[in-house]
C-alpha cells in the first residue's frame, strides 16, 4: 500500500514519512548494507545483502501495490534516515489478522524519537486496516529496541535461545513480541 507523504517536526528537525519510490531502489540497497554493518541486531551481515536493482524495484513495487504490506521511509531534514515496514502473515485466512513489522534506522538518526514516531504511525495504520495484532522479533541484547517496543505495549511471548550465531562464534537469543490491538 501507499503511505501518502506526511510531515512531522521532531526535536527541531523536519521529518517526512512516505512510501518508497521505484527510483530509490539503489538507495535502499546501500541502506541495507550500511545498517546491517552498523549493529548486530539485524538479520544478516552486510556481505550477505546481494539484491540487484531489479530485485529491489520488485520489492518496492510489491509493497506499494499490496493491500497488506507497506514500506515507510523517513527523511530527516531531507536526508534518508531509515525504513519501517509491515507485511501481513497472510497466505491463509487463519493468519490474515497478524502483521509482522520491522524497523531499522541509520545510527546517525537514532536516539531522538524517530523510531517511536514511525512505529506509532505504522501501528495506527495497522489498526485502521483491521489487523488484530502486530508481531516482531528482537535480538535479546537490543535494549533500546526492546524498551521501545515495551513502551508501545508489545509483550514478550517467547524466546529462541542462540537464534543468532555471529562470525566471531558468539550467540544471541531472539525474543518474539506481540501487540494485540
Of the residues 83, 85, 88, 142, which one makes contact with ligand COA according to CB under 6 A: 142
Asked if 97 and 85 touch (Cβ cutoff 8 Å), the reply is no
3-class state of residue 97 by DSSP: coil
**Binding of residue 113 to ligand COA (CB under 6 A):** yes
Output 47 or 61, the one with its CB closest to ligand COA: 47
**Binding of residue 39 to ligand COA (CB under 6 A):** yes
- Of the candidates 65, 83, 75, the one whose C-alpha atom is nearest the C-alpha of residue 28 is 83
**Binding of residue 145 to ligand COA (CB under 6 A):** yes
**Binding of residue 143 to ligand COA (CB under 6 A):** yes
**Binding of residue 153 to ligand COA (CB under 6 A):** no
- Of the candidates 89, 174, 84, 175, the one whose C-alpha atom is nearest the C-alpha of residue 133 is 89
- Residue range at the interface with ligand COA (CB under 6 A); choices 61-69, 70-78, 103-111, 161-169: 103-111
Report in angstroms how near the CB of residue 141 gets to ligand COA at its nearest: 10
Q: Which residue is nearest to ligand COA (CB)?
A: 115
3-class state of residue 70 by DSSP: strand
What are the grid coordinates assigned to 34, written together?
550500511
Q: Cα–Cα distance between 120 and 152 in angstroms, integer?
A: 8
Phi, psi dihedrals of residue 123, rounded to the nearest 5°:
-65, -35
- Residues in contact with ligand COA by CB under 6 A are 39, 41-42, 82, 103-105, 110-116, 138, 142-145, 147-148, 151
Amino acid at each position: 500500500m501507499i503511505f501518502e507523504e506526511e510531515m512531522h517536526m521532531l526535536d527541531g528537525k523536519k521529518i517526512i514519512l512516505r512510501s518508497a519510490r521505484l527510483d530509490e531502489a539503489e538507495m535502499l540497497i546501500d541502506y541495507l548494507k550500511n545498517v546491517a554493518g552498523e549493529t548486530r541486531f539485524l538479520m544478516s551481515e552486510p556481505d550477505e545483502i546481494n539484491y540487484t536493482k531489479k530485485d529491489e524495484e520488485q520489492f518496492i513495487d510489491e509493497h506499494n501495490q499490496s493491500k497488506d504490506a507497506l514500506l515507510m521511509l523517513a527523511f530527516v531534514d531531507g536526508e534518508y534516515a531509515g525504513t519501517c515496514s509491515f507485511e501481513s502473515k497472510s497466505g491463509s485466512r487463519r493468519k490474515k489478522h497478524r502483521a509482522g513489522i520491522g524497523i531499522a534506522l541509520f545510527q546517525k538518526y537514532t536516539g531522538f524519537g524517530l523510531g517511536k514516531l514511525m512505529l506509532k504511525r505504522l501501528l495506527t495504520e495497522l489498526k485502521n486496516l483491521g489487523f488484530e495484532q502486530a508481531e516482531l522479533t528482537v535480538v535479546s541484547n537490543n535494549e533500546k529496541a526492546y524498551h521501545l517496543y515495551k513502551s508501545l505495549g508489545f509483550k514478550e511471548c517467547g524466546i529462541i535461545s542462540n537464534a543468532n550465531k555471529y562470525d566471531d562464534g558468539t550467540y544471541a537469543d531472539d525474543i518474539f513480541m506481540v501487540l494485540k490491538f
